[in-house]
């Protein structure tokens, strides 16, 4: 039976990104893998939603099929609308990608559509196309098969394992509460909870061996001998 959350290791994620380094949708999969975007959010991302100088992206829209046509739609919940922090590597990548995109538009005489990731005609990108292309690239890479949405799961698992606060992870994912995050990533959350429990125990036990006001750690003393009445 397939596990609820199937993710690549950090090394496997890095291997996949290296494998697709020359692909025209590399930046899209990089953003999904490192920042956990949903596929509709990635397809609906516009340059006006990104502030590269302040390293944030405003996630407010998604691409969906409406009556058989692609349309830009609001996100379903208030929690999904969020300010996404961007790491320095992703900012640098997006700067280069925008320059290359602008050169491509000029070379082909096309007007920019405003979308970050576009179809070859410059129009909005289908979320289904993102999924299908990802599946083909994973198969070609020889890596264990995962779904496109599993890249989002991988981002979250790595963030939790790195010690990121659960509330911060939930906010960046666009979850309505940390309960949903904890329920989805229960195995990672439990591992962190066990580590935290051990850390607290070590702190308290070590403090118990130190005399008030500092000084050397006490060594355990021998138990007092029993006093036998004459």
Closest alpha carbon to 37 in 178, 186, 172, 183 = 172
User: Widest CA span of the chain, in angstroms?
Assistant: 109
pLDDT bracket for residue 68 (50, 70, 90)? confident
3-state secondary structure of 108: helix
The better pLDDT of the pair 53, 195 is held by 53
Cα-based distances in Å from 84 to 75, 79, 216, 224, 229: 14, 12, 47, 61, 75
The pLDDT tens digits for 157-207 are 767 666 666 666 666 666 655 555 555 555 555 555 556 566 667 777 776
Average pLDDT, the chain: 80
Q: Report CA torsion sign: 125, 150, 36, 62.
A: positive
Burial 4-29 (b: 16+ CB within 10 A, else e): ebebbeeeebeebbebbeeeebbbbb
What is the pLDDT, as a whole number, of residue 222?
56
Residue with the two structure tokens 């790195």: 162
Task: State the Cα–Cα distance between residues 144 and 141, nearest whole angstrom.
Answer: 9
- Least confident among 25-29, 111-115, 151-155, 221-225: 221-225
The pLDDT tens digits for 131-149 are 999 999 999 999 999 999 8
What is the pLDDT, as a whole number, of residue 229?
46
Q: Which fold has domain 10-145?
A: hpI Integrase; Chain A (1.10.443)
> What does pTM read for this prediction?
0.73
Closest alpha carbon to 25 in 107, 129, 113 = 129
What is the pLDDT, as a whole number, of residue 173?
66
What is the pLDDT, as a whole number, of residue 50?
96
């Amino acid at each position: 039976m397939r596990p609820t959350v199937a993710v690549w290791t950090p090394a496997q994620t890095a291997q996949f990104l290296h494998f697709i380094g020359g692909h025209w949708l590399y930046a899209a999969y990089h953003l999904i893998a490192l920042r956990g975007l949903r596929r509709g959010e990635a397809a609906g991302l516009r340059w006006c939603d990104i502030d590269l100088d302040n390293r944030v992206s405003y996630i407010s829209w998604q691409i969906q099929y409406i009556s058989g046509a692609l349309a830009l739609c609001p996100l379903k919940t208030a929690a999904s609308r969020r300010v996404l922090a961007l790491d320095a590597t992703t900012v640098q990548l997006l700067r280069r990608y925008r320059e290359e995109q602008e050169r491509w538009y000029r070379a082909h005489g096309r007007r920019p559509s405003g979308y970050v990731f576009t179809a070859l005609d410059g129009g909005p990108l289908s979320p289904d196309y993102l999924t299908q292309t990802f599946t083909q690239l994973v198969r070609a890479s020889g890596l264990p098969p995962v779904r496109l949405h599993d890249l989002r799961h991988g981002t979250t698992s790595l963030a939790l394992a790195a010690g990121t606060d659960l509330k911060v992870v939930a906010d960046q994912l666009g979850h309505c509460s940390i309960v949903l995050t904890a329920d989805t990533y229960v195995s990672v959350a439990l591992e962190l909870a066990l580590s935290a429990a051990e850390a607290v125990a070590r702190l308290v036990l070590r403090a118990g061996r130190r005399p008030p006001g500092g000084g050397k750690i006490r060594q355990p003393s021998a138990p007092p001998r029993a006093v036998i009445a004459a």
